Amino acid sequence: MKAGFAKVRITPPVGSRLYGADSPPRDIARLSRIVDEAAESGDLAAVEILVQAGRELAAGVSAIIRRAGLAEDCQVSYQGAVLRNSRSVRESFCQSLKDTRPGAIVAPPAYSPIFGAYMLGCCQLGWEPHLS
């Protein structure tokens, strides 16, 4: 474990402090980068945190597939900095989703997040989106 990680001090209640109103998303993003670096350095606890995060994300997507009545061979993508930047979370997410939805095809994002906002806006306004 790198010496810098020993300086990280988290006191209870962790959940309310991390996800409370006074905790900006950049703090959580910073913490995720620290955990990812620790995992890449061989910290087994950090690896397990990231693997579990991937499993939980996959469980949410699997539930959406089920509730939406999508076909087992539907295509799934992901968005967000953690899945984009953390190999451990992304690999766990993909493997966990394949374990629960063997026919699902997991692909990296084809477009940037702003494109999704554009598509939603077009739908809300009744506009035909231009894809070129």
**Structure tokens, 80:** 């967000």
pLDDT in tens, 95-119: 999 999 999 999 998 888 888 889 8
**Structure tokens, 67:** 């509730």
Is residue 109, in this structure, part of any structural domain at all?
Answer: yes
pLDDT in tens, 21-51: 666 767 777 888 899 999 999 999 999 999 9
pLDDT in tens, 69-83: 999 899 999 888 889
Is residue 85, in this structure, part of any structural domain at all?
Answer: yes
pLDDT score for 132: 67
Give the CATH number, domain containing residue 14: 3.30.420.40
Cα-based torsion angle of the residue sequence 36, 42, 46, 48 in order, rounded to the nearest 10 degrees: 120
Is residue 131, in this structure, part of any structural domain at all?
Answer: no
Return mean pLDDT, the chain: 83
The domain tally of the chain equals 1
Is residue 98, in this structure, part of any structural domain at all?
Answer: yes
**What are the C-alpha distances in Å from 59 to residues 23, 56, 69, 87?**
26, 5, 15, 18
Domain that holds residue 117: 3-125
| pLDDT of residue 6 exceeding 50 | no
